[in-house]
Chains A and B, each alone.
Chain A
Amino acid sequence: MTRKFVGSKEMLAALSFGLLVSCATGQNIPSTTNPASRVLLSIERVEALNPGKDNEESAKQLFGEPDMKVTDPEPGIGDVWLYFDPGTKATRVSLQFDSKSTILLAAAWFVRGNSPEENLKTVIAKFPNAHFKKREAKQIVPDYIPDEAYLEDRKLGVQIEYYQSNSRVHSITWTAPKTQN
């Protein structure tokens, strides 16, 4: 597949303004914590969560205190907890909660190098009952067409993010199952 990088940013800036607006909201600088005790982060632990049923308390029992907590990084997002790989600031697990009910809305596992989940076929095989629909990432800046794409089954509540150029998986996200795909 041919991907294009478009020079002369100003030329396309006006056309792309609508796409930019959703990402241009202000954010407060988050602070990180240093959890005294850290459980081992694993995809199995993330899979054990039930978005739509679990809440902040049950997530804390499973994962411990997060490395970073942010409220409304964009309006209406709610509470976001991030867990980093030890000794890094790289997100390994992200959890999103409803601010009022504290119910878990989404749990994501970020795949790191040399793990079986890097392989798209391996990850797809984890969900034999899924009926995935492909969605390409939206273009955010005028001079760069993104490589990322998503396989989604909203009925099942699963999303696989991968790079189209090399089929490498970047993340897997679980949400509460929806009634319609």
Chain B
Amino acid sequence: MTIRIRPQPVPQLEIVLFDSAFDQSRNLARILGHELAHIAYRDLSAQDHDDLLAALYRFEFNDASGKKIYIRGRNKFVEEDGKLSPTEDIANDIEYFLFDPKRLKEVTPTAFDWIKMHFGANFKLERVIK
């Protein structure tokens, strides 16, 4: 079984949840927070995108083969897969801001500060079901 969610205000995007997301060992709200963070990242303005990459110490360049490479300016991440791409990094960081802010503040304080500044200190998931 899969559940498809079309978050507002970008209904052309979908979050797809599979069975294991509903396992008792999993935190569904945390999973949703992470996936919604991907959408928040995509929705950033060009200026905010630049500011965020700087906060995450990511420096982008394009190589001659057409590949996009992000030079990492730091080695500590709240989750290891954050090393792979800025979008996964920020999705993890927003997830931790919502559910484990102490850990985020310890590991990547610049990301903590940016999220707090951008989304506000009271940034949280709301239960809105239509």
Annotate A136-164 by CB proximity to B: 1 below 8 A, 0 otherwise. Answer: 01001101101110101000000101010
Contact across chains for B20 and A159 when beta carbons are under 8 A apart: no
Contact across chains for B75 and A29 when beta carbons are under 8 A apart: yes
Contact across chains for B59 and A30 when beta carbons are under 8 A apart: yes
Contact residues in B for A110 (Cβ distance below 8 Å) = 60
Annotate A101-135 by CB proximity to B: 1 below 8 A, 0 otherwise. Answer: 00001101011110000100000000000000001
Does B91 lie at the interface of the complex (its beta carbon under 8 Å from any beta carbon of A)? yes
Annotate B53-91 by CB proximity to A: 1 below 8 A, 0 otherwise. Answer: 110010111111010110111110000010111011001
Contact residues in A for B13 (Cβ distance below 8 Å) = 2-5
User: From residue B93, how far is it (CB to closest CB) to chain A in Å?
Assistant: 14
Annotate A68-91 by CB proximity to B: 1 below 8 A, 0 otherwise. Answer: 101001100100101001001111
Contact residues in B for A40 (Cβ distance below 8 Å) = none
User: From residue B124, how far is it (CB to closest CB) to chain A in Å?
Assistant: 19
Partner of B72, one of A8, A27, A152: A27
Contact across chains for B38 and A165 when beta carbons are under 8 A apart: no
Contact across chains for A90 and B54 when beta carbons are under 8 A apart: yes
Does B17 lie at the interface of the complex (its beta carbon under 8 Å from any beta carbon of A)? yes
Question: A8 and B20 in contact (CB under 8 A), knowing A29-B75, A112-B46, A141-B81?
Answer: yes
Does A11 lie at the interface of the complex (its beta carbon under 8 Å from any beta carbon of B)? yes
Contact across chains for B12 and A29 when beta carbons are under 8 A apart: no
Summarize B's interface: helix, strand, loop or mixed.
mixed
Question: A141 and B50 in contact (CB under 8 A), knowing A5-B39, A8-B18?
Answer: no
- Please give me the residue from chain B that is nearest to A135 by CB atom: B66
Count, chain A residues at interface, CB 8 A: 61
User: From residue B6, how far is it (CB to closest CB) to chain A in Å?
Assistant: 9
Contact across chains for A89 and B18 when beta carbons are under 8 A apart: no
Does B21 lie at the interface of the complex (its beta carbon under 8 Å from any beta carbon of A)? yes
Partner of B84, one of A7, A20, A171: A20
Interface residues of B (CB under 8 A from A): 12-21, 26, 31-32, 34-35, 38-39, 42, 45-47, 50-51, 53-54, 57, 59-64, 66, 68-69, 71-75, 81, 83-85, 87-88, 91
27 contacts between A and B (CB under 8 A): A1-B12, A2-B13, A3-B12, A4-B14, A4-B16, A5-B13, A5-B15, A5-B39, A7-B17, A7-B31, A7-B34, A8-B18, A8-B19, A23-B85, A68-B71, A90-B50, A90-B51, A94-B61, A106-B63, A106-B64, A111-B46, A113-B47, A141-B88, A143-B38, A144-B85, A161-B62, A165-B12
